[in-house]
Structure 1
């Protein structure tokens, strides 16, 4: 993850690279190509670091993010109440076509939000996850006045045909006097971002440009060329905002109290560790497994997962943590997931990623009421503290050391946090699940579905 200003000087904060004073802005909109949501969440985190209260919303359509307080079809009074419990809230209208998304709010609601929070961040355009975008007649959706609008484009569009890398390619090509089969060059990117009919359309306040996805030397060189072409026209920044999250699957324990390898023990007919693996594989992350067991290594490798052998499990979980860190070069963060929590849900893992992405301290963990549990996420700044762990002590001590800075994800079902250490415990959880399943049948006529 890197951020540069218009002079290609490395910066700590995206807002600084964009020359944005978020304390003086009430409403910021993001338009253009793919990468808007990532940039929006990065700005939200920086606003939280500055002690601001933030509302995230949209005037078009936006994916509901787990791991952040979400209000759908809520009146301003409800949003205000939510902001007393959390410094950040996501809100919008119910999307009639997609239950996984929120749809746009009105100018009246945006004005109400401005009275409740220090900063309202608005996703005001859609691009179907493509790096480049040309707006249709009704786009972007920028009602009222925005203090700043940020036009976003992915540098990875360069070198590809408009038809393959641009949303509404015929409009983009038309603005530039080209064909949709033509290959995008840096000059095209610069013109679309500065054109009054391109990303700058309908902008009445200040405008900024963000060249995202500058991943690698070739992309950075392209970004430099685009910057040279827009110099003196607009303020701009370059970024590689995608953070490298490595999930470390901890599967090397001796299972002493279980009297056998509990990770291979079937839960709902599936080996315990496979429940965890299936959940993690749904995430957009790099996965690394640490184990002492040949069977688990072979199965993990059959999924293309990099496996590190722990030949000294007697040194405790800290040794597995060290192996995971030392074998994940370039990681921005690590999520440590134990493989004896078969009731953990993919939605919880996804929410924890969002919780961490918004965490000013770069620390996130799960809990249910007063009970704290796994998994936990540690940003790179905690690398040395993690490597200083010894014996059978995991990251819990680090969380306690930074107790006031941890971003906690609350889960509603304590069962998710249960790690199975004994056969008696597994039996009790199985019987509880069967009882809950029977109640579900009585109430709905259906047995609860499998997780996968």
Structure 2
């Protein structure tokens, strides 16, 4: 059953600059490119899925083919995370869950935990957490979309989270799911070696 009140935004418009020529979103996780894996998990959650992409990474669009996700190529992607957040805020019909595309441990069960927590506390800002440390995904209730639509730069939604800190609730996720973010070839090598 589709949850029309929540849109999952997979923010995949970054430049992957720290990969020194590679693209972290095309790295294989369980035999699937990471971005496609994230798209599959998001679609399986039952929520509407929107993916933001930069104009210069056609291979990312290719790995999303056939998923049924809405893909938006952002002309202003170079600005940073705010470009993706503004787009998500504009197109969402209700709450917006922000799922960074480069977090390979977040899975369908984690997204379902976030959606269940939203159903129980629809006015809260929900943050995935590992061992009490806040991370991702982050689910913003519908009334904060206007705040997200005003963001600029590459700091994500930190200012919105700070302004509404009293509404933040942590949603425990297993292991380091909410925190594992791989940006460099060394990060990927270490993560794979530890699995």
Aligned length: 191
In 1, Cα distance between equivalents of 2:130 and 2:29: 22
Q: Please tell me whether the aligned partners of residues 251 and 290 of structure 1 are also in contact (alpha carbons under 8 angstroms).
A: yes
- Once the two structures are superposed, the pairs formed by residues 263-274 of structure 1 within 5 Å of their partners are 263-274=25-36
Gaps in structure 2 of 5+ consecutive residues: none
- SS of alignment partner, residue 182 of structure 2: coil
Q: Please tell me whether the aligned partners of residues 89 and 146 of structure 2 are also in contact (alpha carbons under 8 angstroms).
A: no
**2:86 aligned with 1:322:** yes
- Once the two structures are superposed, the pairs formed by residues 185-224 of structure 1 within 5 Å of their partners are none
In 1, Cα distance between equivalents of 2:96 and 2:13: 17
In 1, Cα distance between equivalents of 2:192 and 2:8: 27
Q: Please tell me whether the aligned partners of residues 43 and 67 of structure 2 are also in contact (alpha carbons under 8 angstroms).
A: no
**How far does residue 281 in structure 1 lie from its aligned partner after superposition?**
1.6
Residue matched to 1:311: 75
**How far does residue 370 in structure 1 lie from its aligned partner after superposition?**
4.0
**How far does residue 267 in structure 1 lie from its aligned partner after superposition?**
2.8
- Cα gap change, 1:286 to 1:415, in 2 (>3 Å): closer
Q: Please tell me whether the aligned partners of residues 52 and 72 of structure 2 are also in contact (alpha carbons under 8 angstroms).
A: yes
Residue of 391, 401, 404 corresponding to 2:153: 391
- SS of alignment partner, residue 408 of structure 1: strand
Residue matched to 2:6: 245
In 2, Cα distance between equivalents of 1:412 and 1:272: 19
- Once the two structures are superposed, the pairs formed by residues 92-103 of structure 1 within 5 Å of their partners are none
- Once the two structures are superposed, the pairs formed by residues 366-385 of structure 1 within 5 Å of their partners are 366-385=128-147
**How far does residue 371 in structure 1 lie from its aligned partner after superposition?**
2.0
In 2, Cα distance between equivalents of 1:243 and 1:274: 22
Residue matched to 2:180: 418
How far does the alpha carbon of each residue in 1:387-409 deviate from its partner, in whole angstroms, 9 at most, with x for none? 12110011233223222221210
Residue of 54, 59, 63 corresponding to 1:299: 63
- SS of alignment partner, residue 136 of structure 2: strand
* Shift >4 Å, 4+ stretches: none
TM-score by length of 1: 0.40
**How far does residue 413 in structure 1 lie from its aligned partner after superposition?**
0.5
Q: Max radius of gyration: which structure?
A: 1
**2:91 aligned with 1:332:** no
**How far does residue 415 in structure 1 lie from its aligned partner after superposition?**
4.2
- Cα gap change, 1:354 to 1:412, in 2 (>3 Å): same
- Once the two structures are superposed, the pairs formed by residues 52-451 of structure 1 within 5 Å of their partners are 243-259=4-20, 260-292=22-54, 293-328=57-92, 331-359=93-121, 361-433=123-195
RMSD: 1.9
